[in-house]
Structure 1
């Protein structure tokens, strides 16, 4: 899944409903011009999206993008309880759709459920700046859903590799060796090297250089330091080597990033 196209999306929720249906509840057939993301907590309902019937029940998530023809009715014997979000993306006519099927089974995680409940409290309370806070919570919900969808295609990182990556990002300016990293997770250095490559597609050294160069770019673009100072700050004691590594990763020399 190409996650880059979702990086700059900012949702604008205009309707949120804690929907506890009566037995005769229904939504009339209509063309929607917004995104409908509905989480079913209890009961059952039949949704018709573009003429196709989808029966949803507890644990399901329904997604209907703009341009969908939607109608729905609850099951009389087991009325639906759901949380429904209707939203747009901020910006002019943003056409991006979320990468979800019309119905996703077993969406429910402890984190997402807690986020939805917090959103509900913020939205209903309507305290000062509630729209800002609710937007942030809903964006976190979308992030969690996208992460789950991405991990269905990309295996979840081995926790030992995740720990090594976190250590590198915290200590990128220091002289860290693969032996140090391996000791921190109780692995043989050779085995860690293979495991890290399998999980990330990079060697430990390549990942270290990537982290260092990304930080170097941020510092250079902020101004106030020259290339030599930034190289030293990011763990490179040889400016020429730093410049070569930077150019190989970014495609341009560090001097081009100077503010």
Structure 2
């Protein structure tokens, strides 16, 4: 999963329903202009999304992205109970779909249900600034689903790579080499390099530089250090090399981060 494109998304809930269906409940077939995220807590229903049938029951989560054709009917002998969120993104031009399957099973955690119940209380009682609070709670729900999905995708990452990553994060200011990292996990440097790139999509060196640059950016943004001081504290002995690496990672030179801090201050 590419995480960056979801970091900037801010949801705006248009409709929330604690849906306790009657036996003849249905959603009429139509194209939706919002995203539908529904948590099934009881009963059963048939959903039709772009012509494909999905039977959902307690414990399932259904996600229907904006632009889809949606239709639904509950089971007459097992009327559905669900919590449904219809939402858009605050940025009007953004219509990014979430990376969820139409129906997801076994992701209804106690934590998510607690957030849903708190959301329901806020949405129905409408205290001052309730939409802001509701938006924050719903974003927590989406965050937990995204984080759980990401963890499942990376669950099979080699423990030796995890150990190397932890070592890099803990000791990024030090002089780290592929040879020393390979010794840490008892592998040949060439094999570790291939394994690391296979598991992370980047080389050890590029990963080290990214960790160093991210920390350098935070130090420059916080103020109190010159560019050369930050370079040294983040593991770069050559300021010119540091500036080149910083610009290649961030798209702008480290001096810009320092100036932004001066402007904001």
TM-score range, shorter chain: 0.7 to 0.9
Q: Give a deviation string over 1:54-97, Cα, whole Å, max 9, x none.
A: 22112222222233333322112112111110111102242222
Partner of 2:16: 16
Distance 2:52 2:59 in 1: 20
The alignment yields a C-alpha RMSD, in angstroms, of 3.6
Correspondences of 1:1-259 after superposition (within 5 Å): 1-150=1-150, 156-158=156-158, 161-162=161-162, 165=165, 168-169=168-169, 172-173=172-173, 187-188=185-186, 193=192, 196=196, 198-202=198-202, 206-220=206-220, 225-247=225-247, 249-250=249-250, 253-255=253-255, 257-259=257-259
Which stretch of the first structure deviates more once superposed, 187-196 or 111-120? 187-196
- Specify the SS of the correspondent of 2:53: strand
Deviation at 1:223, TM superposition (A): 5.3
Q: Which runs of 5+ in 1 are unaligned?
A: none
Q: Which runs of 5+ in 2 are unaligned?
A: 260-265
The total of aligned residue pairs comes to 257
Q: Give a deviation string over 1:2-36, Cα, whole Å, max 9, x none.
A: 44332211100122122222323233344432111
Distance 2:244 2:63 in 1: 47
| Contact 2:122–2:130 (8 Å) recurs in 1 | yes
TM-score by length of 1: 0.76
Distance 2:112 2:128 in 1: 24
| Contact 1:26–1:71 (8 Å) recurs in 2 | yes
TM-score by length of 2: 0.75
Q: Give a deviation string over 1:140-165, Cα, whole Å, max 9, x none.
A: 22233334445565555456755664
